[in-house]
Chain A
């Protein structure tokens, strides 16, 4: 069953169909928010708020849109709000979400790769981080990212290039011999 069909079922009163949409998209949302915000606890709050808002405004979803794109548009906006709210009190270059994983019984390899990425992302401002994560992380097309973020495709390409250079330099500084 497609996402659009599940949405139609929810609109028709079968609320449980939304649980399937949550099952399909929650992990991707959490992943994006964790890397965008650098804090897994805050990421969980933002994703929860995103899914609640999506549920409440489901009546405005149009089938011609990809549900995932529509959902991510809400998520990106919520992440922007959270980042702006907390920017003054949080340094981005912590690796809180890698640390959270350690406490929750994560594997060493998972922590290692995630913390390496967290360190490599450190210092990127929100627009560059956003473009980098949506393009390289989520693998979205530029047109799709442009609709989500409101930025032009040329601007996004430039942001991704700069962000990629930044992340790659820092990634290799962390001593990942396999990329050399």
Chain B
């Protein structure tokens, strides 16, 4: 098979495209470091909502699904807001350095949990857990008036939850007073919390 000018040009472009980028190794290490934050190994049948195959649908079907989801979301939100108002505000015990406190377990359904974290010198604190997909940007804590304790209220379904705090985007901190999940292969541990059936562990 002969190689014409077009093929030679394609080869040069491919060569330019495939030149390694500076900092690839460091970027790969940062990916592995981020993976260490992931809880547990994936299992068959999990994660379908992230599967690109599952997200591909005809436009009309997708639009209908979005409308239905919004309607369900609005109805659920209204119900949750009403229930939360009935239960009252969560109470934070700031004396403990780290804490996840269910505000109420008396009502079936989601339970509002107050997560509190004492970090006097921090500028940003985020909560990560199985309930927010371990997204480090999804759930910020707010600094309390004392300036030392950071809190956030979160409605959680009944069951076992793993969680941790990320301070200033880097420090992965767990609640020392809570039971810890088994150590993950990627090297991180997380605190465990049971919602419902008697409250936190």
Q: Which residues of A contact B (CB under 8 A)?
A: 10-16, 18-19, 22-23, 26-27, 30-31, 34-35, 40, 44, 47-48, 51-53, 55-60, 73-74, 77, 97, 100-101, 103-106, 110, 113-114, 116-117, 120, 133, 136-137, 139, 150, 167-168, 171, 176, 178-179
Contact = CB atoms under 8 A, between A and B. Distances in A.
B50 A133 contact: no
B44 A59 contact: yes
Interface string B12-55: 11111111111110011011101100100111111111111111
A40 B21 contact: yes
Contact of B47 (A27, A57, A106, A113): A57
Contacts of B28: 22-23, 26-27
Interface in B57-109: none
Nearest to B44: A59
Q: Give the most central of A14, A59, A105, A179: most B CB within 10 Å.
A: A59
A114 B19 CA distance: 7
21 contacts: A11-B42, A11-B44, A15-B184, A27-B20, A27-B21, A30-B27, A31-B21, A34-B21, A40-B23, A55-B35, A57-B46, A57-B47, A57-B50, A77-B52, A100-B23, A101-B21, A103-B22, A117-B17, A137-B17, A176-B12, A179-B9
B131 interface: no
A44 B42 contact: no
Nearest to B49: A57
B10 interface: yes
A31 B42 CA distance: 27
A22 B35 contact: yes
Tell me the dominant secondary structure on chain A's binding face: helix
Nearest to B10: A136
B46 A59 contact: yes
Contacts of B12: 176, 178-179
A101 B22 contact: yes
A73 B38 CA distance: 22
A112 to B, nearest CB: 9
A52 B35 contact: yes
B121 interface: no
A97 B27 CA distance: 14
Contact of B38 (A48, A56, A97): A56
Nearest to A51: B31
A110 B43 contact: no
A31 to B, nearest CB: 6
B22 A105 contact: yes
A27 B186 CA distance: 20
A48 B30 contact: yes
A84 to B, nearest CB: 15
Given A11-B42, A57-B51, A100-B23, A48 B13 contact: no
